[in-house]
Amino acid sequence: MLLAAIDRTQLYSLVPFVAYLVGVFVIAVVSARYLKGRQFESEYYVGSRSFGPWVLAMSWVATMASGGSFLGYPSRVYTYGWSMGLWVSGSCVAAMVGLGIVGKRINRLARQTGALTLVDLLRDRFSSRAIGLIYPVIIVLITTVYLLAQFAAGAKILENMLGIEYRTGLAIFSVTVVAYTTYGGFRAVAWTDTMQGIVMIVGIVLLVPFAIRAVPGGLAAATMGQRDRQDPVAELHGLPPQRDAYLYGPGPRKVPKNIQKIAAGDAEAAKIKAANREQGLEMWLPLSMGISYFMLRSLAAMMMPTTVPRMLSFKDTRALRRAIMVLAPYMLLMYFSSMITMNCAHSIDLGLEPHQADQAVTALAKKVAPAWLAGILIAAPFAAVMSTVDSALLVISASVVRDLVQKGFCPRLSERMTKRLSYSVTAGIGLVIFVWALQEPTFIQPLIIFYSGGGAAALFWPSLAALYWKRATGPGVIMGLLGGATTFAICNQWLPFADVLPLHPFVYGFVVSGLCTWGVSLATPAQSKSRLELYFGRDTE
Amino acid sequence: MNQPDRQSAFYTNQARHVRQCWKEARFVGWTWLVSLLVVGGLIGRFGYLAPDERPEIPPLVWGMPAWVFWGLLVPWVGLIAVAWWFAGCFLKDDEPCEDMVADDPFPGSGCTLQDGMLKAATGDGEPTQTHE
């Protein structure tokens, strides 16, 4: 009887998850039918610009909220407690910024010029072949790194949920997401995103009452319980803990990447500890770094290569308006729910070591939720990861096929050839990332921050200038892109002023990109008046 | 409507669209700045206390530290209201593009207006493939 009960429990956990996967494939098959009888590229890459508010809203947030939002961010709350408040605060204004500043402008210009990618818009705006080559190369590079993190996240979820090996989970995840994305294109991606967005929010919000109920005394008891919590980093290195470190900024000490070796009593543990102490074990989130994260989280989504296609695909301003109204409370529900559940998690013994924090959400779901709900809750982070991977795959495919091959070298590519190339590149990228991800990356969130931080630093000012500033020029936009990307990459390895005023590398890249865009634009000849009037009109009022 | 009138309508509507988008972008920009100052200020002032300045018993509201409630949750709810007002009342419907029928009106610019579409050029001045 006990064996039967165990099997039933596992079955109940798997049913919602399997149902979700079936739903994804059904959507892909239905979406593929739309490709017949429509212009292939427009349908495959922007869904023929036909999406309404719900698809726009859900696909935007599902794409933006990746494994980072459902594994990385909760794992950080689990690790650092309420001190994560400032870290996540930028999300309070992300929906307005992400859609309100550029949504209408990009959509209109894309309709007028036939643009299917951001690079299309920028290349045509400045009649610049250089932009058409440099931009997609950078987008491909940073999005590939991002995909690596997401594939790893998807594999880890399956590893934890099904009790299978990481590589097996990676294979299942890769085949699933690459198959429906390749076959169904953007419509499949957007519709599955919509389903995933709903699964995500239902899952993460439903976990809240179960997590609170599992703690005797509720959330207040869980919060006060954090007062007695030991800082494992301070303890392992023989440092004095700070009072109420998990209830206030800057939080406890930042967990070093080599903590697993120290905790395991590795032979090198003493040397590692000494080296850590010499380098300095910094606090988790100094105020200046917290402000950096506010900027990053509020601004990054606006011009991310994976979210811009949503701006190209909605059907009218009414859809945009309603999407903003849906997304604003959605962001609060999503991120604040995780704050609550993960701050409760420490009062519920999940049996996780500091380096296993990425498993906190799935472990909590299994522990406190009934089996049928646990399946939905475990599907939520999986859905988040899939929704991001499918968008990123198409971004790379569009960058290669449309921006580099078709617009760069083969303008008379036939539709048949374009179709074959699109399918091949989408599937091929998936295969490459799968092989790369076989070497399991340890921490997912830093890779995601590299993408969002690097992307925001490089793309924000050049893209904004192209849309709104008449004086912007092609060289200015290129230098803004390169300056931002290079500065971010350098500062990611070597952070200037780290001892005096620690700021996220994004801030430096962001500033340099803005200065380069502005300075080089002013130093280079302006575009002709006739060309500017096409994009900015002629003021007669 | 004859061709010159259509072109004129296109340019006028395009300018009106840019002005409105710019107005909306400025509003969002200011909202962003104010939210950074308010949220960052409140959390910095009440959430970043030195260990010896922290109260003996941390004040809680709804089970969370008071600075999280007043510095993060309350402003966040306020910003949702602002977003609803912005989307519902401030963000204006975009005008439809005017249909144009024109030969290349801008010789040498590399861009033409045809059937309401801008046909932009590559760097060497050749028109790109049309896709709409």
pLDDT value of position A33: 82
**Better-predicted residue by pLDDT, A339 or A354:** A339
- Cis ω before A505 (30° cut-off from 0): no
* Residue (of A448, A527, A102, A132) closest to A309 by Cα position: A102
The pLDDT of A160-176, averaged and rounded, is 87
Does residue A5 register a pLDDT over 70?
no
pLDDT value of position B127: 38
pLDDT value of position A162: 75
Residue B60: strand, helix, or coil? strand
- Per domain, the residue ranges of chain B are 3-98, 99-132
Using a CB-CB cut-off of 8 Å, the residues of chain B touching A328 are 79-80, 83-84, 87
- Radius of gyration in angstroms for the set of CA atoms belonging to chain B, rounded to a whole number: 26
Does residue A320 register a pLDDT over 80?
yes
What does the mean pLDDT of chain A come to?
86
Alpha-carbon distance of A65 to A67, in angstroms, equals 7
Tokens 């991977």 — which residue? A389
A170 φ, ψ (degrees, to nearest 5)? -65, -40
CATH number, domain with residue A366: 1.20.1730.10
Does residue A119 register a pLDDT over 80?
yes
A217 φ, ψ (degrees, to nearest 5)? 95, -5
Q: State whether B65 and A223 contact (CB < 8 Å).
A: yes
Alpha-carbon distance of A515 to A538, in angstroms, equals 28
Residue A352: strand, helix, or coil? coil
**Which own/partner pairs from A436-441 qualify as long-range (CB within 8 Å, at least 24 positions apart)?**
A436/A148, A436/A151, A437/A148, A437/A151, A437/A152, A437/A155, A437/A170, A437/A174, A438/A167, A438/A170, A440/A152, A440/A155, A440/A166, A441/A148, A441/A149, A441/A152
Does residue A196 register a pLDDT over 60?
yes
| pLDDT class of A513 with cuts at 50, 70, 90 | very high
Does residue A154 register a pLDDT over 60?
yes
| pLDDT class of A4 with cuts at 50, 70, 90 | very low
- B 69-128 residues inside an 8 A Cβ radius of A: 71-73, 75-77, 79-80, 82-84, 86-88, 91-94, 97, 106, 109-111, 113, 116-126, 128
pLDDT value of position A228: 87
The pLDDT of A84-96, averaged and rounded, is 95
Alpha-carbon distance of A351 to A338, in angstroms, equals 19
**Better-predicted residue by pLDDT, A92 or A42:** A92
The pLDDT of A83-91, averaged and rounded, is 95
State whether residue B1 sits within 8 Å of chain A by CB.
Answer: no
Residues in chain B: 132
* Residue (of B24, B90, B73) closest to A88 by Cα position: B73
Q: For the segment A379-395, what is each residue's pLDDT rounded down to a tens digit?
A: 777 788 888 888 899 99
Q: For the segment A20-35, what is each residue's pLDDT rounded down to a tens digit?
A: 888 888 888 888 887 7
pLDDT value of position A139: 86
pTM confidence score: 0.88
Q: State whether B39 and A89 contact (CB < 8 Å).
A: yes
Is A541 inside a domain boundary?
A: no
Calculate the alpha carbon distances from A276 to A89, A214, A270, A497, A498 in Å.
30, 37, 10, 19, 16
Alpha-carbon distance A166 to nearest alpha carbon in chain B (angstroms): 36
pLDDT value of position A49: 86
Alpha-carbon distance of A3 to B90, in angstroms, equals 61
pLDDT value of position A1: 41
Alpha-carbon distance of A305 to A307, in angstroms, equals 6
Percent of chain A with pLDDT over 70: 94
Q: Parallel, antiparallel, or unpaired for β B112-114 and B117-119?
A: antiparallel
Contact criterion met (CB below 8 Å) for A395 and A305: yes
Does residue A2 register a pLDDT over 50?
no
The pLDDT of A499-517, averaged and rounded, is 92
pLDDT value of position A415: 84
Of B88, B97, B109, the CB nearest to A528: B109
Q: Which of A26-40, A61-75, A277-291 has the lowest mean pLDDT?
A: A61-75
Structure-token pair, residue A301: 């989504």
| Helices assigned H by DSSP within A242-286 | 259-263, 269-279
pLDDT value of position A475: 96
Alpha-carbon distance A25 to nearest alpha carbon in chain B (angstroms): 29
Contact criterion met (CB below 8 Å) for A234 and A243: no
Alpha-carbon distance A368 to nearest alpha carbon in chain B (angstroms): 19
Cα dihedral B36, B42, B48, B49, rounded to 10, equals 160
- List the beta strands (DSSP E) in A71-198: none
| pLDDT class of A483 with cuts at 50, 70, 90 | very high
Using a CB-CB cut-off of 8 Å, the residues of chain A touching B77 are 332
Which of B46, B52, B61, B128 has the highest number of chain A CBs within 10 A, making it the mutation to test binding with A?
Answer: B128
The DSSP letter of residue B27 is H
Percent of chain A with pLDDT over 90: 37
Helix (H) or strand (E) holding B74: helix B74-85
Average confidence (pLDDT) per 10 residues, chain B, 132 residues: 74 91 96 97 96 94 97 97 96 65 38 49 37 32
Nearest chain B alpha carbon to A317: B93
Using a CB-CB cut-off of 8 Å, the residues of chain B touching A343 are 64
Alpha-carbon distance of A145 to A488, in angstroms, equals 15
Residue A489: other Cβ atoms inside 10 A? 16
pLDDT value of position B117: 52
pLDDT value of position A514: 97
pLDDT value of position B110: 41
Rounded to an integer, what is the distance from CA A196 to the centroid of its chain?
14
pLDDT value of position B125: 37
Alpha-carbon distance of B63 to A224, in angstroms, equals 9
| pLDDT class of A12 with cuts at 50, 70, 90 | low
pLDDT value of position B96: 62
Structure-token pair, residue A177: 């997401």
Nearest chain A alpha carbon to B78: A92
Tell me the CA end-to-end span of chain B in Å, nearest whole number: 23
Contact criterion met (CB below 8 Å) for A31 and A195: no
| pLDDT class of A10 with cuts at 50, 70, 90 | low
Using a CB-CB cut-off of 8 Å, the residues of chain A touching B97 are 108, 111-112
**Better-predicted residue by pLDDT, A86 or A365:** A86
Using a CB-CB cut-off of 8 Å, the residues of chain B touching A116 are 131
State whether residue B66 sits within 8 Å of chain A by CB.
Answer: no
Nearest chain A alpha carbon to B11: A537
**Better-predicted residue by pLDDT, A186 or B96:** A186
Q: State whether A328 and B83 contact (CB < 8 Å).
A: yes
Nearest chain A alpha carbon to B87: A321
Of B72, B119, B129, the CB nearest to A89: B72
What letter represents residue A75's amino acid?
Answer: S
Alpha-carbon distance A409 to nearest alpha carbon in chain B (angstroms): 11
Alpha-carbon distance A538 to nearest alpha carbon in chain B (angstroms): 5
**Better-predicted residue by pLDDT, A323 or A362:** A323
Q: Which of A2-6, A243-247, A322-326, A496-500 has the lowest mean pLDDT?
A: A2-6
pLDDT value of position A303: 87
pLDDT value of position A41: 83
Q: Which domain holds residue A32?
A: 2-536
Residue A464: other Cβ atoms inside 10 A? 20
Contact criterion met (CB below 8 Å) for A209 and A341: no
Residue A452: strand, helix, or coil? helix
Does residue A97 register a pLDDT over 80?
yes
Nearest chain B alpha carbon to A123: B122
